[in-house]
Amino acid sequence: MALPIRFCLLVCGLFVAAGAGAMTLTVQNEPHLAQARALVQEALRVGGLAVDMVDSPKANERRNVALISEGLTHIDMMPATPTRLELVRNGKLRMIPIPLDRGLLGYRVNLLLESRRDMLAGVRTAEDLRAFSLGQNVGWMDVEIYRAAGIPTKEIKDWADGEFALQMEAGFLDLFPLGLEETLTHFLPHFRGKYPQLTIDPHVIVRYPWFRFVWVSPKPEADEVFDALQRGFDKMVANGRFLRIWRQYRKPPPRGVFAGRVVIDIPNPFYGYDLVPPKYRHLLFEDGAR
Amino acid sequence: MTAEPPWSDTRPRRPLYRQFIGQLFVPLVIAFLLAAAGTVFIGYRVELAAQVSHRQELVRVFSHALVKPLWDCDSMTSQGVVDALASLPTVSGAQVQDLCNNLSLKAGEGASVQTEQQQYSQHVIYVDQQGRQYTVGELTVDFHPASIANAALDMMWRYLVLFFVMLGVMMVGAILVFRRTISQPLARFQAAIRTGVGFGGDDLPRLDDEIRKHNDELGDVMRAYDELMVELASVIDRLRDNERALMEIARLDPLTKLGNRLVLEEELSGAVARAERQQTIGCVMLIDLNRFKPINDTYGHAAGDAVLKEMARRLSSSVRRSDTVVRLGGDEFVVIAENLQRPYEPQVLIDKLYRAISAPLEYDGHVFRVGASIGAACFPADGTNSVTLLAHADHAMYANKKREQ
């Protein structure tokens, strides 16, 4: 091929590449999801897709599901729920079952009033927990898990700033369980800013299969995104980049957290640990108790 | 039977203010009814617009209230909002399409026949922190049919009552103003006129004062009337002067300036009546000149007239101021003497008259001597009315004349 023709093709190729630009994706973004968002961003890059990410609107789980199934959000990073799994089965949502929080979400520690810090000192089994009243946000899947285990659970609307402390003082609630790692690193200091009377229970950790996955819109325009994420996460898991990025943002709970705390396993009536495919299962946190 | 004046009218009297009000009433009622109808129509349109605005605002407010629960996919709260909306008295039913849960949340009952005016729909849109809009549902509200017609009817009655009260006030005010500006000045004008012609008392207004008070059309009318009256008074004065002159001409003898037969009749009747009343004696003396005709025939009428005038003067100067001398015509004179105290006094007077008449008189170088035949009748002895007395005196005068001949 003549040199001028080659030159022209090169120039044209550069123009095409420049004109293609980055794909704009609407992605969930919340303060406690920094590591999840970083992992998704890296996976897309590694998967070969240049994207510009804009935040999806702040919403609860039901709205998140509606947004992503309608294609208004391209990617979110939420725990697996029966609703989401059902949508996946029906082709209305796509799931990449990589445990973004390494299964730590299934380790639940109870927030309670400082004045009643040792309320759970005698609790050893799930049956023992039935004497207490738990609070959870409306629509959370945890509600069904606790209720399936026979633990009374009430749904409240406002929790994100620790408002449940007032309901505890009113005697409406006793406990408000959240993920162990996110509570230690984010929620507890955040809640105590407004409600310093809150603390975490030092006696019990509840554990059930509970994973934060990556979810992708079922719309055709997200096909390329889904493929890129699959490729990217596979590569990141294989080359260890997944764990390296994870550790930049999160760290496993120190062994001391488990010392003196009884770990009570309760089943998740909707899925088990096998929801995480074998290729990602080694990412799950091992505390040695299971 | 007296003839009625040309301006007399048998129809009932209609005062000016009644005519004024009567002619003002119908146009005013029409104007007020038109104003009332216009006001009600405008009120109806305003009420309609207000109702539409109110409904739109209601839908907007409830759409706003639904944003959060619909965004949160909280169908229970959304249902509560819809229930609250449907419980409003103006709302017959409400429905919201919950796109998140794919539910249709309803409350109340829709109207049987929906029109655009009764059904309002609005998308419920959530706007996130970045300004992006998300349609999370659609609110549809069915309102009860508008009761604006009834409201307009009520309003119309209120306005009609108000307008009729205003009309009444205006009519009363118009009557008062009319009476104050027209009727009362006219009444004072009438009273002033009566004062001017002698009907009024001291408490009645004077026309001059009324004219000074009114610097307007009514004042012009009064002024014109006043000028007319002045002119009329002048005419009447002239007529009276003329009448007085005519009366004098009719009662006086133009030659001697003595009274004539009319005066004789009046004076003699009066003298008889006074004599009867005062129990006095009076006499009437009929004087006929002798040898007068030859003077008249020989020296002319001018000489005769001069003799008559001189005789009149002598007779007048021979009697008292209270006595009366008249000329009957030709060479006949009559003297009426009243209040004669003594029975012989008439003869004394007759003798005095003879002497006065018989005295010579000069005229144009000639000396004339005339005589007289005098017949007297005294009252009440010789009669108590002029006819009888004059007849008696006439007989006596002719008897004397025969005796002298």
In chain A, whose CA is at the least distance from the CA of B133? A57
Taking an 8 Å cut-off on Cβ atoms, the answer to whether B99 and A66 are in contact is yes
Q: List pLDDT tens digits, range B160-173.
A: 788 788 888 888 88
A181-240: per-residue pLDDT in tens?
Answer: 889 888 999 999 999 999 999 999 999 999 999 999 999 999 999 999 999 999 999 999
- What's chain B's average pLDDT? 86
Whether the predicted pLDDT of B114 surpasses 60 = no
Q: Binning pLDDT at 50, 70 and 90, where does residue A31 land?
A: confident
The alpha-carbon gap from A40 to the nearest alpha carbon of chain B, in Å, equals: 22
DSSP 8-class letter at A56: P
Determine whether the interchain pair A57/B99 forms a contact, defined as Cβ–Cβ distance below 8 Å.
Answer: no
For the segment A125-150, what is each residue's pLDDT rounded down to a tens digit? Answer: 999 999 999 999 987 889 999 999 99
Tokens standing for A165?
A: 């402390």
State the average pLDDT over residues B384-392.
Answer: 92
Confidence of residue A1 (pLDDT cuts 50, 70, 90): very low
CA B138 vs. chain centroid, Å, equals 81
Closest partner CB to A57 (pick from B73, B99, B132)? B132
Say whether residue B67 is in contact with chain A using an 8 A CB cutoff: no
Tell me which of 3.30.70.20, 3.50.50.60, 3.30.70.270, 3.40.50.12780 is the CATH number of domain B261-404. 3.30.70.270
Domain ranges of chain A: 21-103+211-251, 106-207
Mutation site, A24, A54, A63, interface B, largest B CB count within 10 A: A63
Average pLDDT over residues A118-131: 96
In the DSSP assignment, the letter for residue A79 is: B
CA-based nearest distance B68→chain A, Å: 10
| Closest partner CB to B71 (pick from A59, A138, A157) | A59
Is residue A223 less than 8 Å (CB to CB) from chain B? no
Asked whether the predicted pLDDT for residue B200 surpasses 70, the reply is no
**Cβ contact (<8 Å) for A66 and B72?**
no
pLDDT of residue B110: 61
A10 pLDDT more than 70 = no
- φ, ψ (nearest 5 deg) of residue B122: -155, 135
Q: What is the mean pLDDT of residues B236-244?
A: 92
Between CA B217 and CA B228 the distance in angstroms is 16
A57-71, B20-34, B194-208, B338-352: the lowest-pLDDT one: B194-208
Q: Which residues of A touch B130 (CB under 8 A)?
A: 54-55, 57
For position B17, what pLDDT does the model report? 78
- Cα B291 to Cα B366: distance, rounded to the nearest angstrom: 15
Length of chain B, in residues: 405
Cis peptide before B380 (omega within 30 of 0): yes
Q: Give the Cβ contact number of residue A269 at 10 Å.
A: 14
With cut-offs at 50, 70 and 90, classify the pLDDT of residue A7. very low
Q: Kindly report the nearest CA distance between residue A86 and chain B, in angstroms.
A: 15
Q: Which of B331, B351, B364, B394 is labelled catalytic?
A: B331
Q: What is the pLDDT of residue B202?
A: 60
Chain A nearest C-alpha distance from B141 (Å): 25
At B197 the pLDDT is 58
Measured between beta carbons, which residues in chain A are less than 8 angstroms from residue B73? Answer: 60, 62-63, 66, 139
CB A112 within 8 A of CB A176: yes
Chain B: closest CA distance from residue A89 (Å):
18
Q: Identify the CATH assignment for A106-207 out of 3.40.50.1980, 3.10.310.30, 3.30.540.10, 3.40.190.10.
A: 3.40.190.10
Q: Are A99 and A276 in contact (CB under 8 A)?
A: yes
pLDDT at A8: 41
B24 φ, ψ (degrees, to nearest 5): -85, -25
Among this protein's residues, is B331 annotated catalytic?
yes
ipTM, interface predicted TM-score of the complex: 0.77
Taking only the tens place, the pLDDT of each residue in A154-169 is: 999 889 999 999 999 9
- Residue B146: its pLDDT value, please? 67
Q: What percent of chain A shows pLDDT beyond 70? A: 92
The topology under which CATH files domain B20-149 is Beta-Lactamase (3.30.450)
- Domain A21-103+211-251 architecture: 3-Layer(aba) Sandwich (3.40)
| Chain A residues touching residue B129 (CB < 8 angstroms) | 57-58
What is the least distance, in Å, from the CA of A209 to any CA of chain B? Answer: 26
- pLDDT at position B1, please? 46
Which carries the bigger pLDDT value, residue B35 or residue A210?
A210
Compare all CA atoms of chain B with the CA of A73 and give the residue at the minimum distance: B134
Q: Assess whether pLDDT exceeds 90 at residue B309.
A: yes
Contacts of B72 in chain A (CB under 8 A): 59-60, 62-63, 138
Contacts of A139 in chain B (CB under 8 A): 73
Give per-residue pLDDT as tens, B62-71.
Answer: 999 999 999 9
**Closest CB to A57 among B74, B99, B128:** B128
Cβ contact, residue pair A58, B129, below 8 Å = yes
pLDDT value of residue A2: 44
Q: B128 touching A, CB under 8 A?
A: yes
Q: What is the DSSP letter of A115?
A: G
Q: Is the pLDDT of residue A29 over 80?
A: yes
pLDDT of residue A3: 42
Q: Between these two residues, A219 and B228, which has the higher pLDDT value?
A: A219
User: CA dist B250 to A165, A251, B236, B247, B299, Å?
Assistant: 140, 159, 20, 5, 29
The distance from CA A232 to its chain's CA centroid, rounded to whole angstroms, is 19
pLDDT at residue B117 in the model: 59
pLDDT, position B333: 96
Residue B149 has pLDDT above 70, yes or no: no
Q: Tell me which chain B residues have a C-beta less than 8 angstroms from the C-beta of A54.
A: 130
Number of CB atoms found within 10 A of residue A82's CB: 13
Amino acid at B279: Q
Cβ contacts (< 8 Å) between B126 and chain A: which residues? 57
| A139/B73 touch (CB, cutoff 8 Å), yes or no | yes
More confident position, B143 or B181? B143
Nearest of A283, A290, A203 to residue A250 by alpha carbon: A283
